[in-house]
Amino acid sequence: MGLEREEACHNILFATCFNSFGGMKVFFPALMKYVAQAGEKLHRQLADEIRSTVKSNGGEVTLSAIEKMQLTKSAVYEALRIEPPVMFQYGKAKKDLIIESHEAAFEVKKGEMLFGFQPFATKDPKIFENAEEYIPNRFLGEGEKLLKYVLWSNGPENESPTVANKQCPGKDFVVLIGRLLLVEFFLRYDTFTGEAGTLLLGSSLTVTSLTKATGK
């Protein structure tokens, strides 16, 4: 595009940090809100999984170690499902198409503007049992098949961003950094409580108690 390499790198770095900051500012409080509300049993399960995996990895937090933490991963996916950081999407139809719901079909003409409110899909009770409830182990085992209905990144979670779609380029980074937040937190603390609130762009959480880790 005619940019010098240095300028291009600065633009990439700025875009990455700017978009990440905006997303995390919304996503982190929501994730911790749901984990706090889930209670001490979940906290104990997460702490056990995280600490045992890190211990077996020589005490190091690495990408390969994080990838083995299945409950931690599911807990993050469930937060993204129940409260997507960006709930609204839009785009113009590139061709005539038919959009189908469970009960009906809608004809869309090329050039027409489409607008979507994501929670209509991510909390669809015909897809997700107890769809309004945060269930941290929802995506374990056979539940992993439901990831195709987790659309927080503007596309199915089991697909990847390409130049031909509108899926978030930072999709995998967001999931990773959410898991890393839980990993670092439960390496330090056994449990916590908090008071949930709302902000202009989403949830807020005021931590009211922290119990330091009794063992790692």
- For residues 91-106, give the mean pLDDT: 93
Given a cut of 70, whether residue 216 has pLDDT beyond it is no
Given a cut of 90, whether residue 179 has pLDDT beyond it is yes
pLDDT at 91 (0 to 100)? 86
Tell me how far apart the alpha carbons of residues 26 and 32 are, in angstroms, rounded to a whole number: 11
Tell me how far apart the alpha carbons of residues 162 and 100 are, in angstroms, rounded to a whole number: 24
Tell me how far apart the alpha carbons of residues 32 and 76 are, in angstroms, rounded to a whole number: 10
Give residue 43's region: left, alpha or beta (phi > 0; psi -120 to 50).
alpha
Mean pLDDT for all residues in the chain: 92
pLDDT in tens, 136-173: 999 999 999 999 999 999 889 999 988 888 888 888 88
For a pLDDT cut of 90, what percent of the chain falls above it?
Answer: 73
Helix residue spans in the chain (DSSP H): 5-38, 40-56, 63-67, 70-82, 119-122, 171-188
- For residues 196-212, give the mean pLDDT: 90
Given a cut of 60, whether residue 60 has pLDDT beyond it is yes
Sequence letter at residue 51? R
Sequence letter at residue 208? T
pLDDT at 143 (0 to 100)? 96
pLDDT at 136 (0 to 100)? 98
Given a cut of 70, whether residue 62 has pLDDT beyond it is yes
More confident residue, 94 or 199: 94
Given a cut of 70, whether residue 192 has pLDDT beyond it is yes
Give Cβ neighbours of residue 7 (< 8 Å, ≥ 6 apart).
Answer: none
Backbone phi, psi, residue 106, to 5°: -125, 130
- For residues 104-116, give the mean pLDDT: 95
178 and 188 Cβ atoms separated by less than 8 Å: no
Read off the tokens for 1: 């595009």
Cα distances from 122 to residues 145, 147, 161, 167, 204, in angstroms, run 14, 10, 19, 16, 21
Give Cβ neighbours of residue 84 (< 8 Å, ≥ 6 apart).
Answer: 118, 119, 122, 151, 152
pLDDT at 215 (0 to 100)? 58
Sequence letter at residue 174? V
- For residues 55-73, give the mean pLDDT: 96
Question: What Rg do the C-alpha atoms of the chain give, in angstroms?
Answer: 19
Architecture field, domain 16-86+119-212: Orthogonal Bundle (1.10)
Tell me how far apart the alpha carbons of residues 67 and 74 are, in angstroms, rounded to a whole number: 11
Cα distances from 135 to residues 73, 74, 78, 80, 159, in angstroms, run 12, 9, 7, 12, 23
Every domain of the chain and the residues it spans: 16-86+119-212, 89-117
The reply to whether 168 sits in an annotated binding site is yes
- For residues 11-33, give the mean pLDDT: 85
70 and 140 Cβ atoms separated by less than 8 Å: yes
